[in-house]
Amino acid sequence: MKLSYILILAALALFACNPDDMPDDNHGIEAKPEGTLRVLFEISHPWIPPDRIVRSELHVAKDAMEIYKGNFIQSANVTTFQEVYFFYLEPGSYYYEAAEACICGGDSCSAGGFPGNKWGTKHVMGKFTIDDDKVTQVIVLFQ
């Protein structure tokens, strides 16, 4: 029984992916001009330890209404260990939204300006412009 499964999988692997069948022409495909957005998303707070605040969201949208609706052009997979994020966008004006959450216990989050207690989040939004073949930098600052 196991041998038949192995033979079937081997046959699928052998015939399923044949890179020689891929066309090698790029007719009709044009590269769009792009610029780069570099987002510096540091965690800092006057008295809550940095390891008790986590990045929770980073999105880009065409306008502020699309941010409000949740219709994002791109979103970053934010992590505790990464401070710089890159987006590659066509030239034009865009908005970003970033959020951070407090994971302290007790009322430290509330006292630190995070609404609610544990898991309270702060959001910030801003506008930026992308130029062709240029890098635009945004620094995320929470109030």
- Beta carbons of 33 and 88 less than 8 angstroms apart: no
| Structural domain contains residue 132 | yes
In-domain check, residue 66? yes
Residue 126 confidence class, pLDDT cut points 50, 70, 90: very high
Look at strands 35-40 and 135-139 and give their pairing: parallel
| Other CB atoms within 10 A of residue 103 CB | 15
pLDDT, residue 28, reads 66
pLDDT tens per residue, range 53-107 = 999 999 999 999 999 999 999 999 999 889 999 999 999 999 999 999 999 877 8
Is 130 within the bounds of a domain?
Answer: yes
What is the C-alpha separation between 134 and 131, in angstroms, rounded?
5
User: Is 1 contained in some domain?
Assistant: no
7: which 2 tokens? 């033979």
Any idea what the CATH number is for the domain that residue 112 is in?
Answer: 2.60.40.10
In a domain, 50, yes or no: yes
Residue range of the domain that includes 131: 33-139
- Residue 114: inside a domain, yes or no? yes
Does some domain include residue 86?
yes
Domain count, the chain: 1
* Span 11-68, pLDDT tens digits: 655 555 555 555 556 566 666 788 999 999 998 888 888 889 999 999 999 999 999 9
